[in-house]
Amino acid sequence: MVKTWKDSDISLDPIKDQTIGIIGYGIQGDAQANNLKDSGLKVIVGLKEGGSSWNKAKNDGHEVMSVAEACKKADIIHILIPDMVQSKVYKDEIEPNLSEGKALAFSHAAAIYWGWIKAPDNVDIIMVAPKGPGSKVRETYLDGFGTPSIVAVEQDKTGRAWDRTLGIAKGIGSARAGLIKTTFKEEVETDWFGEQADLCGGSASMVVNAFETLVEAGYQPEIAYFEVLHELKLIVDMIQKYGINGMWRRVSETARYGGLTRGPMVMNKQNKEEMKKVLQRIQDGTFNKEWLSEYEKNGKNAFDKYMKQLDSHQIEQVGKQMRKMMWPDSTE
Of the listed ranges 10-24, 38-52, 163-177, the least confidently predicted one is 38-52
* pLDDT surpasses 80 at 251: yes
Contact 246, 238 (CB under 8 A): yes
Q: Supply the pLDDT for residue 156.
A: 98
Please count the residues of the chain. Answer: 332
* pLDDT surpasses 80 at 154: yes
Q: How far apart are the C-alpha atoms of 129 and 149, rounded to whole Å?
A: 5
The set of residues, in sequence order, having a beta carbon less than 8 Å from that of 271 and lying 6+ positions away, is none
Contact 105, 112 (CB under 8 A): no
Question: What's the whole-number mean pLDDT along residues 49-68?
Answer: 93
In this structure, are strands 4-5 and 179-181 parallel, antiparallel, or unpaired? Answer: antiparallel
Instruction: Locate the domains of the chain by residue range.
Output: 4-182, 194-326
Q: Supply the pLDDT for residue 28.
A: 96
- Return the ∠ at Cα 68 (arms to 63 and 70), rounded to 5°: 30
* pLDDT surpasses 80 at 89: yes
Q: Supply the pLDDT for residue 174.
A: 98
Contact 107, 80 (CB under 8 A): yes
Q: Supply the pLDDT for residue 135.
A: 93
Which of these, 151, 149, 161, lies nearest to 119 by C-alpha position? Answer: 161
The set of residues, in sequence order, having a beta carbon less than 8 Å from that of 46 and lying 6+ positions away, is 21, 22, 23, 24, 64, 65, 66, 67, 68, 69, 70, 71, 74, 93
* pLDDT surpasses 90 at 51: no
Q: How confident is the model over 274-303, as pLDDT tens digits? A: 999 999 999 999 999 999 999 989 887 888
For the chain, give the mean pLDDT: 95
Q: How far apart are the C-alpha atoms of 150 and 155, rounded to whole Å?
A: 16
Homologous superfamily of domain range 4-182: NAD(P)-binding Rossmann-like Domain (3.40.50.720)
Amino acid of residue 111: A
- What does the buried/exposed string (b/e) look like for 280-294 if buried means 16 or more CB atoms within 10 Å of the residue's CB? ebbeeeebbeebeee
What residues form the annotated binding site for substrate?
A: 252
What residues form the annotated binding site for NADP(+)?
A: 25-28, 48, 53, 134
What residues form the annotated binding site?
A: 25-28, 48, 53, 134, 191, 195, 227, 231, 252
Question: What's the whole-number mean pLDDT along residues 209-237?
Answer: 97
What residues form the annotated binding site for Mg(2+)?
A: 191, 195, 227, 231
* pLDDT surpasses 80 at 331: no
Reported as a pLDDT band with limits 50, 70 and 90, residue 203 is: very high
Question: What's the whole-number mean pLDDT along residues 166-187?
Answer: 98
Task: Please report, rounded to a whole number, the percentage of residues in the chain having pLDDT higher than 90.
Answer: 88
Reported as a pLDDT band with limits 50, 70 and 90, residue 50 is: confident
Task: Please report, rounded to a whole number, the percentage of residues in the chain having pLDDT higher than 70.
Answer: 100
Question: What's the whole-number mean pLDDT along residues 304-332?
Answer: 87
Q: Which CA distances in Å does 22 have to 26, 86, 131, 210, 260? A: 10, 13, 19, 43, 47
Q: Supply the pLDDT for residue 158.
A: 97
Q: How confident is the model over 234-246, as pLDDT tens digits? A: 999 999 999 999 9
* pLDDT surpasses 80 at 146: yes
Question: What's the whole-number mean pLDDT along residues 161-178?
Answer: 98
Question: What's the whole-number mean pLDDT along residues 98-104?
Answer: 97
Question: What's the whole-number mean pLDDT along residues 161-184?
Answer: 98
Single pTM value for the model = 0.91
Q: What amino acid positions are annotated as catalytic residues? A: 108
Reported as a pLDDT band with limits 50, 70 and 90, residue 166 is: very high
